[in-house]
Amino acid sequence: MNPKPWTILTSNLDKSYRVFNLRTDHARSPRTGQSHDFFVMESSSWVNIIPLTPNEEVVMVRQYRHGTRDITLEIPGGLVEHQDDPEAAALRELGEETGYTAASATPLGYVHPNPAIQNNRCYTFLAEQCLPAGDQQQDEKEDIQVVLIPLHDIPRLIREGVITHALVIAAFYRYYMEHAIEGSLNP
């Protein structure tokens, strides 16, 4: 038997925060007829962007992440603002977080970050020929260091646990699927 969508009986906003809302859905199973509560984090979609310089370096950022209370190595990314499309948001985040610019970005696809409890998508883009164009424009909650990492080092940094952000790893996986670099996906 193929799974079917559940019938939403009620849906209530529990709490609203700056970057997400918490919602409770009461839904009925089409298989059993029983109803259950589900807790959902509603959020705008996210973007991340793999920025490559003319020298095949990835423009990456080191920043503190309070959820894990650790410094992470990531690609630029952030929220898709209501007025933006995902590509515009990705290029904006590239400039704000790194001071680099690109004329355009190529979409690599999207993932659902955690479809069990979240309703949003994370869109991934590739920007090539990225060049420095000005200063970073960090917000008050950001403390970002820009680092250039040779593209050929990325698979090793993932294997060694230096890059641990799941959405960043998913972005590079999409990149390597599109750009089948010899040996890139080997453990």
Contact between 57 and 149 under an 8 Å Cβ cutoff? The reply is yes
183 has a pLDDT exceeding 80:
no
Burial class (CB in 10 A: 0-12, 13-18, 19+), 6: middle
Both tokens of 170, joined, read 């998913």
pLDDT value, residue 187: 43
pLDDT given for residue 115 in this prediction: 96
Q: What pLDDT digit, counting tens, does each position of 76-131 carry?
A: 999 998 888 999 999 999 999 999 999 889 999 999 999 999 999 999 999 999 99
Q: What pLDDT digit, counting tens, does each position of 142-163 carry?
A: 888 999 999 999 999 999 999 9
Distance CA 77, CA 100 (A): 13
Instruction: Dump pLDDT digits (tens) for 73-91.
Output: 999 999 998 888 999 999 9
- Cross-strand pairs, 147: 60
Residue 119 tokens, joined: 């309703």
**Is residue 182 pLDDT above 60, yes or no?**
no
CATH topology of domain 46-178: Nucleoside Triphosphate Pyrophosphohydrolase (3.90.79)
Q: Is 163 exposed, middle or buried (0-12, 13-18, 19+ CB in 10 A)?
A: buried
Alpha-carbon distance values, 170 to 60, 108, 128, 163, 174 (Å): 15, 11, 18, 11, 6
Q: Where are the domains of the chain?
A: 7-42, 46-178
